[in-house]
């Protein structure tokens, strides 16, 4: 099993409709920013945001952060959230399906609905440090 312990930088994300139709990427196509740190002792923290200095008129900067204890069975990462930017995540289990694509760890959160559209998201992370 691939070790996920370490520090990972968000490379890029893809968003599609369930039928595969491309939707705008998460956290801004030009400059997505994010870090996730997963310790060997089972703690994690994640911070993601749209890193563009200026957003188009009417756009809202996408941002999320959370942390907690995690388990990983080689395919599924489950984090029990104990702090988050979104209070509705407190005390919940955040479940991510995990695959590996070359140098990338690919996280797929549960599908979500935004503005009436179901979104399927894939977030591509590159390991930048084994120290966690």
Other CB atoms within a 10 A radius of the CB of residue 52 amount to 16
- Spatial contact of 82 and 90, defined as CB atoms under 8 Å apart: yes
Which residue, 52, 55, 46, is CA-closest to 10?
Answer: 46
Which residue, 125, 110, 119, 118, is CA-closest to 48?
Answer: 125
For 65-74, the pLDDT digits (tens) are 999 999 999 9
- pTM (global) more than 0.75: yes
Q: In the beta sheet, which residues pair with residue 126? A: 9, 104
Domains within the chain, CATH numbers bracketed: 6-129 (2.40.128)
For 74-104, the pLDDT digits (tens) are 999 999 999 999 999 999 999 999 999 999 9
Tokens 């289990």 label which residue?
A: 93
């Amino acid at each position: 099993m691939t070790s996920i312990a370490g520090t990972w930088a968000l490379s890029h994300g893809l968003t599609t409709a369930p039928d595969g139709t491309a939707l705008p990427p998460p956290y801004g196509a030009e400059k997505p920013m994010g870090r996730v740190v997963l310790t060997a002792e089972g703690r994690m923290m994640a911070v993601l945001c749209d890193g563009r200095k200026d957003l188009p008129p009417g756009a809202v900067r996408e941002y999320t952060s959370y942390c907690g204890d995690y388990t990983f069975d080689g395919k599924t990462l489950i984090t029990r959230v104990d702090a988050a930017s979104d209070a509705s995540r407190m005390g919940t289990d955040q479940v991510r399906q995990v695959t590996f694509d070359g140098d990338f760890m690919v996280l797929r959160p549960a599908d979500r609905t935004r503005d009436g559209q179901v979104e399927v998201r894939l977030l591509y992370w590159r390991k930048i440090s084994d120290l966690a």
